[in-house]
Amino acid sequence: MRGSNRWNWPAIKGVSLLVYVSMLVPLAVIVINSFNAARIPSFPPTEYSLKWHKEFFADDVFINSLFNRVQVGIWSAVIAGLIGTVTAMGFVRKKFPLKNMLSIAMLTPMLVPPVIIGVSSTIFFVEIGWERSVWWLIVMHALIALPYTFLIMRSRFYMFDESLEDAAMTLGADRLTTFREVTSPLVAPSIVTAMVLAFVISFGEFTATQFWVKRTTTTVPVVIYSMVRTLITPKVNVLATLVLGVTILIPIIGIIIQRFVLSRGGRA
């Protein structure tokens, strides 16, 4: 009987559809509005044009902020990915005191509101006399992304079959060679996943980031936010559309890299 395990299925479908509409329609409106010719955006547009796209690409601020963002994202993804991997390995394989408390401590950046991360780190950096630079962003974004990379890598190491390493060492490989030849190819796909996630988190972070930027190191969400708050120009829709494209493309590229790493690891 088809309906037996489907409790109120049509109602469930209807509510689900409603949730999809609420999540996707706003994004669709942004993309459509970036082609809107009118200065004061109304929807649906009465006239379409590419003039905001042209103005957008003539403006350095946007291109710079986008470039900045990608740069910060890549650096913090690499840092968070590596630290997360090493820490997760330690947490899974070694015994040490206060382990439970320390693993909660690793996750605190997920629990502390971003405004407080932004305020407290700014006070701290100023106190120790560290000049505001792009490194503030890289270090702090790596910190914010660290719990996520840590969790991904920890569950990977839980599943790891350590007898493979033992086999390599019995056959005469030292620890470093074992790590290079056995451990790292096996966990590489998860590292890629972790780094892609870290990049996405860094790319989209706004609330804490607004405290760390200065004019030359500004980032896309900060630019969009200040444009929306002050003068709404249709160019903001072009920037958002571009970011939508990037944020959807990057994980897809990540998946392709992961497949590639996986296929190489499988052969080795």
Partner 1 sequence: MPKTSPLNRGQFTRSGIRRGCWEDRLPLVASSVPRLWDSVKASIITTLVVLPFGYTLGYFLARTKSKLMPVLLGLVVVQFWVPLVIRTYAWITLLGQNGVINQALMSIGIVNEPIQLLYTTNGMILGLVVSIMPFMVLPVYSAVSTIDEEVINAAKTLGASDLRAFYEVTLPLSWPGIVSGILFTFILSAGSFVAPTLLGGPEDRLIAPVIATVFTTDFNWPFAAALSMVYVLLLAGMLYLFTRKADLEEALEGTQL
Indicate which single residue of 24, 105, 167, 253 sits in contact with partner 1 (rule: CB under 8 A). 24
| 79/76 Cα distance (integer angstroms) | 5
CB of 151 to partner 1, least distance (A): 6
Span interacting with partner 1, options 50-58, 73-81, 177-185, 225-233, rule CB under 8 A:
225-233
- In the bound state with partner 1, the residue whose beta carbon lies nearer, of 182 and 235, is 235
Question: Is the distance from CB of 153 to CB of 191 less than 8 angstroms?
Answer: yes
Span interacting with partner 1, options 6-14, 71-79, 87-95, 179-187, rule CB under 8 A:
6-14
Contact status: 25 vs partner 1 (CB under 8 A): yes
Contact status: 29 vs partner 1 (CB under 8 A): yes
Length of the chain: 268
Indicate which single residue of 8, 49, 177, 184 sits in contact with partner 1 (rule: CB under 8 A). 8
**Strand, helix or coil for residue 91:** helix
| 215/168 Cα distance (integer angstroms) | 52
Question: Is the distance from CB of 128 to CB of 219 less than 8 angstroms?
Answer: no
Phi, psi angles (nearest 5°) of residue 233: -115, 145
Contact status: 105 vs partner 1 (CB under 8 A): no
Indicate which single residue of 49, 155, 177, 184 sits in contact with partner 1 (rule: CB under 8 A). 155
Take residue 217 and report the two structure tokens written for it. Answer: 């190191």
Span interacting with partner 1, options 29-37, 59-67, 90-98, 180-188, rule CB under 8 A:
29-37
> Where does 94-160 have alpha helices with state H?
99-111, 114-127, 134-158
For residue 110, give the nearest of 165, 150, 153, 147 by alpha carbon.
147
CB of 68 to partner 1, least distance (A): 14
- In the bound state with partner 1, the residue whose beta carbon lies nearer, of 111 and 268, is 111
Contact status: 253 vs partner 1 (CB under 8 A): no
Question: Is the distance from CB of 35 to CB of 50 less than 8 angstroms?
Answer: yes
Question: Is the distance from CB of 194 to CB of 81 less than 8 angstroms?
Answer: yes
Q: Is the bond preceding residue 185 a cis peptide, omega within 30 degrees?
A: no
Question: Is the distance from CB of 219 to CB of 69 less than 8 angstroms?
Answer: yes
CB of 113 to partner 1, least distance (A): 3
Question: Interface residues for partner 1 in 159-218 (CB under 8 A)?
Answer: 200, 203-207, 210-211
Take residue 149 and report the two structure tokens written for it. Answer: 């990379």
Residues that bind partner 1 (CB under 8 A): 4-8, 12-13, 15-16, 18-20, 22-27, 29-30, 33, 41-44, 103-104, 107, 110-116, 118-120, 122-123, 127, 147, 151-152, 155, 200, 203-207, 210-211, 220-221, 224-225, 228-229, 232, 236, 240, 243-244, 247-248, 250-251
